[in-house]
Structure 1
């Protein structure tokens, strides 16, 4: 079995279309079909079900896909280790993050990272399937709220994210009940953002319907609208701390409080390349500076693995 056969197979399993896969591989469609047929003969079973112009993986094909991804990851890890041994500050960093607050956190840190390592290219993939992006080697690591159980993933809890109620008016009471959040006009992120999803879920439990006066995916727009008195908002502590909010006021939300756990995900037993190590160290450093409630034991273990 040759590595190129696995490469061809993975492309077809991704595209589920021989012509498109052949174009991306830069070979002819007949050549690709012949190579896949050779792989099927070697395996002893069909890898794809062919229904007209459409194809799908067979059960055997799913097994081959899973194991091929592991082989691909091992090869990438081999080259990453060789590159990292030289400690040359070049290369690329791929990060997978959930849409919303985490994307803003990761993107903001990229400014500092670029200043420290200008020759490392950073690619941020915003996706609802962070774990899948890491498992398929599309990302060196992922950051998100949701924790899914995958035996092949190393998952580290970074910190607890709290969501604040913010306005342009000072209030002597540092806390506000969740039901009181809806007393005035709201400026919120769109429904795809995790903050909005938490609000939607909690409000439905209270029998309340969220009807924001303004929806925008720009945190800077939200802050400016709050400053101008158009309305109040609910944002993560991460965003509140990372942006200039000295002229704004926040209150802790209670009854119930709005919090989510933030996790960092990497493949188990996979070499952490130079760029990823440096970025994760920068992330941990920033979280510590902002005095987030972090999991000290987990963070210490993560830091030791980055040495």
Structure 2
């Protein structure tokens, strides 16, 4: 049983189609089929049921897939560890983060990391599903909304953030020092579309208080939301640290009284993933970064 065989086996399991898998691997379909048959002969058990052109994994195939992924991950961990030892902390570190927070908040964190590890290539990937990126090994570390405990992950809490009402300095409520929850019934807003994490959080929170936030416009871009609010189309509800990071003097932040909506962040990585000193330093810097962000005033 060879590493290449297992790598090709995993691709067949994902595609469940020999021709597509062979195309993805850049080898011929007969060569791939021969490799899988060799595995089956060695293990003395069928790994796939073949029904015409369709295939599906057998129970033995599912077991081999689980162990193959673990073996290849351990091999990658060993290679990463040795590469760090040989290169003097070179290499690549990939980070998954929410789009708006990546755009406006963590630039200074990236600058700080580069100053300490100038030879490490840092890759930041924007995603609304950071946990899946981490679990699928698409990124090394994720900065994600707090989720339920998962034994596959190490989950370190970062911060809890309250949302505020953000309006233009020209808005009729711009001089308010705070706003009762029920007054939000009367404000027209610019928000993310339904189905976006931030919008769902606000909708669930407002329903708990017996109303629905009225939206005048919806857009998937936080930059567009801010421009529309600045143009006094309506207000919006955004986490306070995010609007603070934008540093826009034409915007006003109005705290919500008593029970404002909030979200919590965590930094996550796979429990079975090797993390070198650059990755460990990034985690420490990220915890310090979120700890030192300004509270709502």
Normalized against structure 2, the TM-score is what?
0.83
Alignment match of 1:217 (pick from 201, 208, 220) = 220
Residue number in structure 2 paired with 1:242: 245
Give the superposition deviation at 1:45.
3.2
Inter-partner Cα distance in structure 1 for 2:16 and 2:279: 31
Give the superposition deviation at 1:91.
2.3
Inter-partner Cα distance in structure 1 for 2:124 and 2:28: 30
Distance 1:85 1:106, change over 3 A: farther
> Does the 8 Å contact 1:189/1:217 carry over to 2?
yes
Unaligned runs of 5+ in 2: none
* Equivalent runs, 1:101-112 vs 2, <5 Å: 101-104=100-103, 108=107, 112=111
Residue number in structure 1 paired with 2:284: 281
Normalized against structure 1, the TM-score is what?
0.81
Once the two structures are superposed, what CA deviation does each residue of 1:87-120 show, in whole Å capped at 9, x if it has no partner?
A: 64542222234x5544446764575268533761
Inter-partner Cα distance in structure 1 for 2:283 and 2:295: 16
Distance 1:114 1:6, change over 3 A: same
Secondary structure, counterpart of 1:262 in structure 2 = strand
Instruction: Report how many residues are paired.
Output: 290
Secondary structure, counterpart of 2:70 in structure 1 = helix
Structure whose alpha-carbon radius of gyration is higher: 2
Residue number in structure 1 paired with 2:28: 28
Secondary structure, counterpart of 1:190 in structure 2 = coil
Secondary structure, counterpart of 1:213 in structure 2 = strand
User: Which stretch shifts more, 197-206 or 226-235?
Assistant: 197-206
Give the superposition deviation at 1:187.
0.9
Unaligned runs of 5+ in 1: 294-307
User: Which stretch shifts more, 36-45 or 182-191?
Assistant: 36-45
Task: Return structure 1 stretches of 4+ with deviation > 6 angstroms.
Answer: none
Q: C-alpha root-mean-square deviation of aligned residues, in Å?
A: 2.9
